[in-house]
Amino acid sequence: MAGQPLSARRRVVTLTAMCVAQGMILLDNTIVNVALPSIQRELDVNPGNLIWVVNAYVLALASLIMVGGTLGDRYGRKRVFLVGLAIFTAMSAACALSTDESALIAARAAQGVGAALVAPLSLSILADAYPPERRTAAIGIWAAAAGLGFGAGPVVGGILVELFSWSAVFWVNVPIGIIGLVLVISGVRESRNPDARRLDIGGAVLVASGLCVLTFAIVESEHFGWTSPTMIVLLTTAGVLLVSFLVVESRVREPMVPLGLFRDSRFTVSCAVYAIMYLALASTFFYVTLFFQNVEGWSALEVGLSWLIMNTPFLIASMLAGRLAGWIGTETCWLGVLLGGLGVLALAFLTPGAGVWRPRLATC
């Protein structure tokens, strides 16, 4: 529900606040990976549990992001955004103060809850603040800030771990979050969607539970074995929960995920490709970071700098994607999938002493 046009100053403040918040959330997706070996050593984290430092955040974010959007539309986008940003900032401090793996994983999950309230509302708040003729430029700046946060994560993380400790990758969110809170309170106006859907609590609980059980089963498969009774129970439980989610979504009047969208083959294929590519990218960050530091003996900063080789083309391509699609058509997106797949395949053949170029740093 749009109100009167905002002044130029308030539009700039709103855009800055959304860029700060979205950039911080995307930064947190990648900055932690470089700190994982240090976290493992200093907190004596079980290798099997280390992946939960990443997954707890991502699962909470992915499972609740649509709930965050619905809450904002119904109860006020600014209000819900502030709550989410406050949770994210406070839980970042809790992560930094964690003294064992259980506390860290719990705080990371809570961080993901905060991010799920922030991420879907930033674009809605921008759309309300800017008139249609200026909206595209604002969204372009917002997307660039998000991409910069994602791409800068490994480098920033490497610098912070090298100069301070693993906790610095979480402390860095605190001043950024406080700045974001001040900007939102002072410059963002409240808005709602008068036609907002009802909150689909049943669907949210089922999909979150199903994804958590499935992820736990996959992570612990090496420990339990794929054919063990425990693994069969876990996979069956995950299957029942996720199928129940689909049944509920097909019957409720206002589902969290309108299943009718998947009748469009282009939408379905796009979602599948994005999910597969993100899975490959996230797995690469986790595996290669541990390989370079724990096996090859690289420093956190050297690992962070090495990611520039991937992140620089990523940022350039993401900024040019819209224009490229206009020039050569979206049908050629298979080329990007192929290139990404070949890159991940090449990394799968990494072995100790493989002769990978190392960004060595001068030491005093």
What's the one-letter identity of residue 259?
L
If you count them, how many residues does the chain have? 364
Give the span between the Cα atoms of 333 and 294, in whole angstroms: 35
Give the span between the Cα atoms of 179 and 181, in whole angstroms: 5
Give the span between the Cα atoms of 59 and 62, in whole angstroms: 5
Q: What is the pLDDT of residues 198-228, one digit of tens each?
A: 778 888 888 888 888 888 888 778 778 888 9
How many Cα atoms sit within 13 Å of 241 on the Cβ side? 19
Q: Please report the pLDDT score of residue 319 as a whole number.
A: 65
Task: Provide the residue ranges of all domains of the chain, joining segments of one domain with +.
Answer: 8-200+252-347, 201-251
| Inter-residue contact 34 to 300 (CB < 8 Å) | yes
- Return the closest-CA partner of residue 243 out of 272, 197, 269, 209: 209
Q: Please report the pLDDT score of residue 26 as a whole number.
A: 84
Residue 270 parent element (H or E): helix 265-290
Q: What is the pLDDT of residues 44-89, one digit of tens each?
A: 888 778 888 888 888 888 778 878 888 888 889 999 999 999 999 9
> Which residues are within 8 A (CB) of 194 and not within 5 positions of it... i.e. 6 or more apart?
1
- Return the closest-CA partner of residue 125 out of 67, 176, 181, 80: 80
Q: Please report the pLDDT score of residue 197 as a whole number.
A: 73
Burial of 312 (0-12, 13-18, 19+ CB in 10 A): exposed
Residues of the chain with pLDDT under 50: 1, 362-364
Give the span between the Cα atoms of 200 and 178, in whole angstroms: 31
| Inter-residue contact 147 to 319 (CB < 8 Å) | yes
Long-range CB contacts for residues 235-239, cutoff 8 Å, separation at least 24? 237/213, 238/210, 238/211, 238/213, 238/214
Q: Please report the pLDDT score of residue 244 as a whole number.
A: 94
Give the span between the Cα atoms of 167 and 294, in whole angstroms: 19
Q: Which CATH superfamily is domain 8-200+252-347 in?
A: MFS general substrate transporter like domains (1.20.1250.20)
Give the span between the Cα atoms of 44 and 39, in whole angstroms: 8
pTM for the whole structure? 0.79
47-75 and 101-129 helices cross at what angle (nearest 10)?
Answer: 30
| CA dist 304 → 75, 129, 151, 273 (Å) | 40, 36, 10, 27
